[in-house]
Amino acid sequence: MNSIYSNQAVKIFLVAAGLTFTAACTSQESQETASQAPQEAASTQDQPAATSPPSAEKYVTSCAATEPLLYQTDTFSSFTEDKMRGAGVVSIQLDLNDRLDIYYLDDAPYTNLVYNEDNTFYTTDLPRKVVARGLVPEADVAQFDFDAEAPSTDPEYLIIYLNKEKRKVAKADVKYTFSTWEKYLKNQNIRLKDCNLLPHAPQSKNQVFEVTAIKNDSIQIKSSKDCQGDLADYKPFEGWVQWKKADVLTVEFAPCS
């Protein structure tokens, strides 16, 4: 096996504060009357936080599905995607000397990753472009998250999605956790897309948010001072937004700076 990752060669492109995605977006809803304020969301300096999710007609329908670049080296690019697959997300933990073997559904080897003692990752046959929920083979920010079917689907294997196709991983070979989409979302920080900002709050685009409540396709969010990075840019926003439309995410997962 040949090493394709080293601390010197790696160039990380994580989703961060300045990253802009090309998504077709429409303008925000016009200002509602004061009697509708409990359902709106804006800066806490201006008005109270919304206490119930927005009605379905408030959803901005033009958020196009995208495949943002998550991580890149000279020989490898990892993308995430807005399309949701399976029942949730499998997160795999790799410790030193651990190996992740991924198979086709017919048991033929697909690819593997090994976490070496020098904190580099070795692989064989990994495609130059990978689409997964979060695949970052870099020691300090390692992430191995895959859209997946529920673990009960197969007694021996995890059924995951890699490059938009079903693959499998032997349960006995890895340490993993499975989260439903709602649980995974609750444990993540998010950013808002241009087409799905808090009502009447264009500056909410530049904030990192915690998810405080989930109700169907809506989430209650609150801007996170701890994850904002540059505290000078922090604004105290909270309210409700849509987090998905059918099987397409309408928010972006974001690292905590």
Give the pLDDT confidence of 213-252 residue by residue, as tens digits.
999 999 999 999 988 877 668 899 999 999 999 999 999 9
**61-76 pLDDT tens trace:** 578 899 999 999 998 9
Most confident segment among 80-84, 120-124, 224-228: 80-84
- Strands 69-72 and 77-79 come out as antiparallel
Query: Is the pTM for the entire model greater than 0.85?
Result: no
138-147: average pLDDT: 94
- Strands 77-79 and 129-131 come out as parallel
What's the confidence (pLDDT) of residue 157?
99
What's the confidence (pLDDT) of residue 215?
97
Mean pLDDT in the chain? 82
- Say whether pLDDT at 34 is over 60: no
Half-sphere exposure of 253 (CA within 13 A, CB side): 24
| CA atoms of 248 and 84, how far apart (whole Å) | 6
Helix boundaries (H) for 151-226? 181-186
What's the confidence (pLDDT) of residue 231?
66
- Say whether pLDDT at 44 is over 70: no
Percent of the residues in the chain that have a pLDDT greater than 70, as a whole number:
75
What's the confidence (pLDDT) of residue 256?
82
- Strands 88-93 and 175-180 come out as antiparallel
Residue 74's alpha-carbon distances to 4, 14, 54, 129, 131, in angstroms, are: 9, 15, 44, 11, 17
- Say whether pLDDT at 98 is over 60: yes
Please, which pLDDT band fits residue 167 given cuts at 50, 70 and 90?
Answer: very high
